[in-house]
Amino acid sequence: MVEKAISKTSDWALNHIKLATPVRTGAMQAGWKVTPQRQELSMSNSVPYAGIVSRRVNLLGKSIPQAEKKLKEELGRIYDTL
């Protein structure tokens, strides 16, 4: 059940961070990967300048707390149904 919540949240997080990414060529926006792991999500982008842009606009600083909130909501829904 927890894995389902993490997977659902990772889909949401990927869409969220892509929409929040500044776009010039679209490469950075397309480069995002969100990987569900056992008890967490891993967000990464292999585009060479992604780190610079992310820090400049605080992209991860804004997105990570929102993803954590979304995961708590998903887990709450699961536990409410038990």
- pLDDT higher than threshold 80 for residue 1: no
According to the model, what pLDDT value does residue 31 have? 97
Give the total number of structural domains in the chain.
1
Domain that holds residue 46: 2-80
- Give tens-digit pLDDT for 19-70: 999 999 999 999 999 988 877 888 999 999 999 999 999 999 999 899 999 9
According to the model, what pLDDT value does residue 5 have? 86
According to the model, what pLDDT value does residue 78 have? 83
CA neighbor of 17 nearest in space, from 72, 52, 47, 58: 58
According to the model, what pLDDT value does residue 82 have? 75
- Give tens-digit pLDDT for 34-44: 988 877 888 99
